[in-house]
Amino acid sequence: MTTGPRVLVIQTAFLGDVVLTTPLFRALKELWPASHLAALVIPETAPVLERLSALDEIIIHDKRAGGLGELGRVMGEVRAKKFDVVVSPHRSARSSLIARTSGAPRRVGYRESALSFLYTERIARPADRHETERILALAEAMGSSHGDRRPTLAVADDERAAARGAAGNERYVVMSPSSVWPTKRWMPEGFAAVGDYLAGRGYGVVITGGPGEEEETAAVAAAMEAPAANLAAKTTTRELAALVAEAALLVANDSAPVHLASAFDTPTVAVFGATVPAQGFAPLASRSAVAEVPELSCRPCGAHGGRRCPEKHFRCMVDLLPADVVSAVDAVLG
């Protein structure tokens, strides 16, 4: 019996990056239908890939907690699995080292990756395309003609039902007012005003955030006149995915929930401040809009935002009014 190659994809970045890698999983499985396809990810992102039909295996690398000992352990685990092909959209030196020590005869990564000489095939990363297309360029270089760039995830019916129950309303919107980077965060009072507007339209309002983001979410809930369900740091990754999947709308900063919404085609309004959609992380839901202050010459001020505004005025967020975001909401919802 002839079988396909054993293929590993290394993507140990944040949740949003993992979601945006799902088109690559589909492309590789279409290229080699009989392959054994594995993903190497960090513990925080692994649950969101469960039930994904293209994947046969998920390997965990706890790179934040394990130090060199954990790196050596995962290198040994990967090497023992005898992969034929390793593909890495993650550009770190660590990922390049894992690829090289895997023993795989074919190793595909970006020319711009750290230690890129450790790959057998180095692909130019197309800077002017959406991140999903930049990642798919790796599969294209191997012969894939997969053209669907929208990410996909899977949640079960019982997870969707639980999400509706947690929201407390069959007709609800999700607001995610935080971000890892402070310059990506719109004002809490702005989110509150949008939340009150949506409550006035008959929607329940659910506020989400991860551990450490409770302060921002609590500020939004406190500033709202209408009641809201604040589920910050109270959901697992899969529960968050289900909440977004069942929502009538997501309103969020440029952050992972935007990409979760794209995976479920949930209508989306994405707020961009320090970053801009042209950097490759615009929402891909079929009904989506971006709220931003477009005329500022200082945008973008970095690849991922930053801890503070380098110009010291933070106009990209301060000048964005609730009416601007409400206008984007109306354009998406009708």
Lowest-pLDDT range of 101-105, 257-261, 276-280, 302-306: 302-306
Q: How far apart are CA 143 and CA 131, in angstroms?
A: 19
Residue 169 confidence (pLDDT):
82
pLDDT at 3: 81
pLDDT at site 254? 96
- Mean pLDDT calculated for residue range 323-334: 97
Residue type, 245: A
- The reply to whether 6-141 and 158-333 are identical in fold is yes
Task: For the chain, give the percent of residues with pLDDT over 70.
Answer: 99
Mean pLDDT in residue range 8-28: 97
Side-chain-side CA neighbours of residue 161 (13 Å): 3
Contact yes or no for 137/126 (Cβ under 8 A): yes
CATH topology of domain 6-141: Rossmann fold (3.40.50)
Quick one: three-class SS letters along the chain?
Answer: CCCCCEEEEECCCCHHHHHHCHHHHHHHHHHCCCCEEEEEECCCCHHHHCCCCCCCEEEECCHHHHHHHHHHHHHHHHHHCCCCEEEECCCCHHHHHHHHHCCCCEEEEECCCCCHHHCCEEECCCCCCCHHHHHHHHHHHCCCCCCCCCCCCCCCHHHHHHHHHHHCCCCEEEEECCCCCHHHCCCHHHHHHHHHHHHHCCCEEEECCCCCCHHHHHHHHHHCCCCCEECCCCCCHHHHHHHHHHCCEEEEECCHHHHHHHHHCCCEEEECCCCCHHHCCCCCCCCEEEECCCCCCCCCCCCCCCCCCCCCCCHHHHCCCHHHHHHHHHHHHC
Read off the pLDDT of residues 150-194 as tens digits, 9 standing for 90 and up: 999 999 999 999 999 999 888 999 999 999 888 999 999 999 999
Fold (CATH) for 158-333: Rossmann fold (3.40.50)
List, for residues 32-86, the tens digit of each pLDDT value: 999 999 999 999 999 999 999 999 999 999 988 878 899 999 999 999 999 999 9
Residue spans of the domains in the chain: they are: 6-141, 158-333
Distance CA 325, CA 306 (A): 22
Check pLDDT > 80 for residue 18: yes
Q: Find the range with the poorest average confidence among 107-121, 171-185, 296-310.
A: 296-310
* Per-residue pLDDT, 170: 84
How far apart CA 210 and CA 192 sit, in angstroms, is: 18
pLDDT(89) > 90: yes
pLDDT value of residue 65: 81
For the chain, how long is the longest CA-to-CA vector? 65
Q: What is the mean pLDDT of the chain?
A: 95
pLDDT at 2 over 60: no
Can you give the pLDDT at residue 165?
94
For residue 1, pLDDT over 80 is answered with: no
pTM over 0.75: yes
For residue 67, the model assigns a pLDDT of 83
How much is the pLDDT for 23? 98
Give the residue from 229, 191, 240, 232 showing the smallest Cα distance to 215: 232
